[in-house]
Structure 1
Amino acid sequence: MAALGAAGVTLGARAVPAEPFDIVYPRIRPGGDVHAAFALAVLDLAMKTANAAYTVRQAEIVMERGRALAELAHGHNTINLHWTSMEAAAERGLNVVRIPIHRGLIGYRVFVIRKDRQRDFDKIERFSDLKAFTCGQGLGWIDADILKAAGLDVQTSTYETMFKMTQSGRVDYFPRGVVEAFAELDGRQHREPDLVVENRLMLKYRSDFIFYVATGQEVLADTIEKGLVQAYRDGTYLRLFNSHPYIQDALVRTKPASRKTFHLENPYLSEADRRIPRDYWMS
């Protein structure tokens, strides 16, 4: 791990304050977010490794990705931290901690489909075959642009609506990260009982969630990055990754290594994102 170093903000530039950091992150979905547990565990590891006291809470107001990033950029103090997909245009002068939270697994995309459609996806052997199908993505997600750039037919709507559109057949498939797909469907069987995770295909591109920190909160960003870099160096991050049920259950259930995988380019990364050390990613 000797190659690991600061990928974003400058480490050690500012001392950690004696007062606890008050970290506020956005409420992404009305019904709660099943994905928050691992990101919060990574945040906790980073802060403790940096010997920084903190409190953390979720904002009351629901925010789509675009609004959350705008709130961070404008310094409205409603939130000061958000974890979301890396994207050059999203940085907008924010403090960016360029260490992938899930080691790139957000860019390993499996498909949520109707279970009676598996036979159609069984026929797909080439990426060009997939272009005959329509996929869905959330409003404001950089993933929609990545998939469009690859030549796929993409429709966008809200996160909740996407499941309904897949259930009703208005879209053929809804790509989700391998750590997202089963966790989401486990909580939705009473609403969309016909949805399953497609069992043989995967898209893969360079992407993951990273921590974006509000304008004017450079010390918080420095602290998170300092802690994460050290947690990688001392092995505690990988121990968390290799033991956390959110990650490990997803890998067991999706079996990414056994899937037919189509590799896509992500043209929306910043140059700094492209320089993130290889050791922070899964091989």
Structure 2
Amino acid sequence: MKFRIIGLVVALLLVLLSAHPVKAKDVVMSGAERSDYFTQALSLALSYAPEKQYQIKFINFDVPKLRALKLIANHEGIDVIPAGATVERQELVNPIRLPLLKGLFGWRVPLILEKNKDMFFQKQTDVEFKQHIAGQLYTWSDTKILESNGIKVLKGSKFLGLFTMLEKERFDYFPRSMLEVEGEYHRFKHHGIIIEPNIILHYPTAYYFYVSKQNVELHNDIRNGLELAIDDGRLNTLFKQHFGDIITRINLKNRRLIELNNPFLPPDVPLNRKELWLDVEQYIDNNVN
């Protein structure tokens, strides 16, 4: 009789559970759009926890990155954001330490004036290269990185103004990431600007997903999902779909690599995991300055 009652209780619980399916969990994202790489990477990562029924939602207004990070930290309407790796951000919110862009933001291609297209044609010594002046916004972390490597930087206060300053030859070149340079060239080529064809600068950078330090479950699900997607190749396939053509068009193998240090990179960035980064040997020769 006792076991019969237990069996009936179990059956009743199963009926109740089937009548009340698990409620989907909304994950509110900032700093991305519905169809972009970051959204698809997050969706891929969360797909490895199907029992949670995660659904990605978006805020319908622009939020500055620092403000979004503070909202995440305080559980005020945003759950996750993709952003560059900095010590300051890691003190505020919790990073998933898997570089989403394989370091692409640290691969910098100069925009220059067409009339100066041969500026970097001849191989130059470090000293000679550093005589050229780069242009950057004074608030950008890249500005500090370039200056820490002994590169002269002319700083502006407005992004659009930098293209006018380049046109007027206030500085010599405007280093932009591989993800930005083509779009900006097409937008501003009427200024007589071209993509410099001979060199590429590189310094290590990482782009992470960040969540609240208290949201351990979401942090673990994103991290575990990304690790699984790395292992089975699906994240790399997604990366190539979005950025493979860009990397090919930049023509790395015919560019001279100028390797720079990044003293501001957090010390826990997983630089030793080669599978997480752009495979340089696949694209570039050994002509390193």
TM-score normalised to structure 1 length: 0.78
The equivalent residue for 2:267 is: 271
> For residue 254 of structure 1, what is the aligned residue in structure 2?
250
CA distance in 2, matches of 1:131, 1:264: 12
Measure the CA separation in 1 of the matches of 2:206 and 2:177. 9
| Maintained 8 Å contact 1:113/1:197 | yes
Alignment partners' CA distance in 2, 1:195 and 1:140 = 23
Whole-angstrom CA distance in 1 between matches of 2:205 and 2:36? 19
- State whether residues 136 and 157 of structure 1, in contact with CA within 8 Å, keep that contact through their aligned partners in structure 2: no
Q: Superposition pairs for residues 74-223 of structure 1, below 5 Å?
A: 75=74, 77=76, 79-123=78-122, 125-154=124-153, 155-186=155-186, 188-189=187-188, 192-223=190-221
CA shift for structure 1 position 124: 5.2
In structure 2, what is the equivalent of residue 23 of structure 1?
28
Change (3 A) 1:146 1:189: closer
Partner-residue secondary structure (3-state), 1:271: coil
- Measure, in 2, the Cα distance between the counterparts of 1:84 and 1:57: 16
Structure holding more helix per residue: 2
Superposed CA RMSD: 2.6
Query: Unaligned 5+ residue runs, structure 2?
Result: 1-21, 280-289
Q: Percent identity?
A: 26
Contact 1:98 1:276 in 2 (8 A): no
Offset at 1:85?
Answer: 2.0
1:225-240 paired onto structure 2 within 5 Å: 225-240=223-238
Amino acid at match of 2:30: Y
Q: Structure 1: which 5+ runs fail to align?
A: 1-16, 28-32
Quote the offset at 1:237 in angstroms: 1.0
TM-score by length of 2: 0.77
Task: Call closer, same or farther: CA 1:160–1:99 in 2, change over 3 Å.
Answer: farther
CA–CA separation in structure 1 for the residues paired with 2:243 and 2:178? 9
Write out per-residue CA displacement over residues 210-255 of structure 1, whole angstroms, 9 at most, x where no aligned residue.
212244333322222111111011111122223x1x3022112111
Deviation at 1:280, TM superposition (A): 0.7
- With over 3 angstroms needed to count, the CA separation of the structure-2 counterparts of 1:220 and 1:114, relative to structure 1, is farther
Q: Distance in 2 between matches of 1:61 and 1:129?
A: 43
One-letter amino acid matched to 1:150: N
Following superposition, the deviation at residue 148 of structure 1 comes to: 1.1
The 1:138/1:91 distance shift into structure 2, 3 A limit, reads farther
Aligned to 2:285: none
Distance 1:118 1:222 in 2: 48
Residue by residue over 1:48-86, the C-alpha shift from the partner in whole angstroms, topping out at 9 and shown as x without a partner, is 2333422232551352x444444444x262543322222
Structure 2 residue identity aligned to 1:22: V
Task: Decide which structure has the larger Cα Rg and report it.
Answer: 2
Asked whether the 8 Å contact 1:24–1:78 carries over to 2, the reply is no
